[in-house]
Amino acid sequence: MTSCADIIANSDAQFGTSGVRGLVEDLNDATCVAYTYAFLQHLKTSKGLKQGASVWVGMDLRPSSAAMAKACLAAVEFAGCRPVFCGVVPTPALAHSALGDWAPAIMITGSHIPFDRNGIKFYRASGEMLKQDEAPVVNCQDAFPASLLGSPGLEPEVALPEVDPRAEDNWRARYEATFDGLLDGMVIGHYQHSAAGRDLFSDMLQGLGARVVQLGRSETFVPIDTEAVSTADADQARSWTIQHGLNALISTDGDGDRPLLADETGTYFRGDTLGILAARSLQASHVVTPVSSNGALEKTGWFSTILRTKIGSPHVITAMQQVDKPSNRIVGFEANGGFLSQSILSSPWNGARLSPLPTRDSVLPVLSVIALARQMKMALSQLHQLLPSRVTASDRIVDTMRESSTALIEMLRNDASRTAGLNHEGAALSEQDDTDGLRMTFVNEDVVHIRPSGNAPELRVYVESSSDQRAAELLKHARDAVAYML
């Protein structure tokens, strides 16, 4: 008997930072069926998922996503559950409706990684799948449903099911109720590219009162990485802002769970800066964020409790759950700008109730920061004045296998003389943190952090310094030094 575990073990598509990721050729029908069926069997065993229960399914606009969605939908039906197909939809919108229905969800997305790759993100009825859920899935000994592979429904010419509109409708209603009128009188640019929910997001912005200028729409997939905005995208943002007289420019990554917000000068907020300001706007008491996020968080003194984690939303969610009490107002964010909430919050704009959404959301941080600026009668660019002067920047070294990254980190951990070479001023090492990869703090308070990506064969390089110029110089120097050492 071939088990689901056998199929999964023979595929190079594996769990990464958040969900399953791999090359498109590895995410074939067999792999998608095995992971989906094993996930649902795990929920039946551990969470009491019943026969006939709903399972919400969505996808992004990658060329490979439709075929993967068909395979996942077939596996849901084979497992005795009822698929609710939401079509192309933002990941947080799918998660929001599934949570409201107390149902699992499956999102076909590779987020920001190149289009020759893709992924599957799983949600339990209580929220995003956590790290402890992975082992029961990959070790599932249930027989692999091989009969599905010959199903006519998986053929390319067969259309996907009719789209259930509830995920989009519920998502629109969530923010129209909590930020009604926020954007009155504003001109908002919307960089649409190939993001899931791009039309939905434009409709939401218009519904909140903005005059929306739609920009950069693409019918081919564009892998936008909100954590490492390209020079071309940064220049384009400034050009669009000037050309159209924008008060703000908004965008997301491919599956709509990581935000981009540029101010009235066309300058993008860093994701972790956006997260700090959104947490302030929402009057959070407890903030959870990965070790790679901006150190200005602690220096603000705004929050009673700050917890640092490994990189990846499952780690942030686990830490949020550990401090979950009715009296706490708990949020989390990542350096990519994705924002999560564990508690019932109040809208900073009109006080309306915001239900918890413990998964990355691109809409709440953007609207909360705009609300903060409007209430303080500041331009968006002036919000930086509220924060201590700590600037982060990041880059990546592509085509770097995990084995090479791990060996480099081990060498640097044990050789202080080489570590000093990563600082552009040659400052000595002050502190090391190996929570995730290797984060090195120098005596001049500069930070260099390196870690292998959990989603692709890349080595991530993060830096933090006291100004934009110093951070840019440090990033270039550290990246070149790391590339030389590999």
Question: Which residue among 11, 65, 97, 111 is the active-site one?
Answer: 111
Number of C-beta neighbours around residue 85 at 10 A: 21
pLDDT in tens, 211-234: 999 999 998 888 888 887 888 999
Model confidence at 64: pLDDT above 80: yes
Residue 330, amino acid: I
Residue 107's SS3 state is strand
3-state secondary structure of 332: strand
- pLDDT on residue 358: 95
Residue range 325-354, pLDDT digits in tens: 999 999 999 999 999 999 999 999 999 999
- 74/395: higher pLDDT: 74
Residue 17 has pLDDT above 90, yes or no: no
Task: Give the tokens for residue 113.
Answer: 């990684």
User: Which pLDDT band, with edges at 50, 70 and 90, does 21 fall under?
Assistant: very high
Residue 150 pLDDT grade (very low, low, confident, very high; cuts 50, 70, 90): confident
**Over the stretch 110-123, which tens digit does the pLDDT of each residue have?**
988 887 899 999 99
Alpha carbon of residue 192 to chain centroid: 17
pLDDT of residue 115: 79
Confidence category of residue 323, pLDDT binned at 50, 70, 90: very high
Q: What is the C-alpha separation between 348 and 186, in angstroms, rounded?
A: 18
Q: At what angle do helices 363-375 and 166-178 cross, to 10 degrees?
A: 20
DSSP 3-state percent helix, strand, coil across the chain (nearest 5): 40, 25, 40
Q: Which of 168-182, 259-273, 383-397 has the lowest mean pLDDT?
A: 383-397
State the Cα torsion 248-292-289-110 to the nearest 10°.
70
The predicted pLDDT at position 151 comes to 83
DSSP label at 52? T
Give me the pLDDT at residue 16, please.
86
| Beta-sheet pairing, 54-59 with 82-88 | parallel
Chain segment 440-481, per-residue pLDDT in tens = 999 999 999 999 987 678 999 999 999 989 999 999 999 999
Distance CA 208, CA 210 (A): 6
What gap in Å lies between CA 86 and CA 163, rounded to an integer?
Answer: 5
Mean pLDDT for the stretch of residues 266-278: 95
Q: What is the pLDDT of residues 348-401, one digit of tens each?
A: 999 999 999 999 999 999 999 999 999 999 999 999 999 999 988 888 898 998
Residue in this structure with the two tokens 């490979």, named with its chain if needed: 64
Average pLDDT, the chain: 94
Would you state the pLDDT for residue 62? 94
Return the closest-CA partner of residue 372 out of 355, 335, 347: 347
Rounded CA-CA distance 180/198 in Å is 20
Q: Which of 92, 100, 8, 104 is nearest to 47 (CA)?
A: 104
Q: Which amino acid is at 410?
A: E
Please tell me the least confidently modeled range out of 71-75, 403-407, 417-421, 432-436.
Answer: 417-421
Q: What does the alpha-carbon distance between residue 83 and residue 57 come to, in Å, rounded to a whole number?
A: 7
Arithmetic mean of pLDDT, 153-163: 88
Domains of the chain from N-terminus onward? 4-164 (3.40.120.10), 168-386 (3.40.120.10), 391-485 (3.30.310.50)
Look at residue 415 and tell me whether its pLDDT is greater than 80.
Answer: yes
DSSP state of 381: G
Active site residue 465: no
What is d(CA 104, CA 43) in angstroms, rounded to the nearest whole number? 9
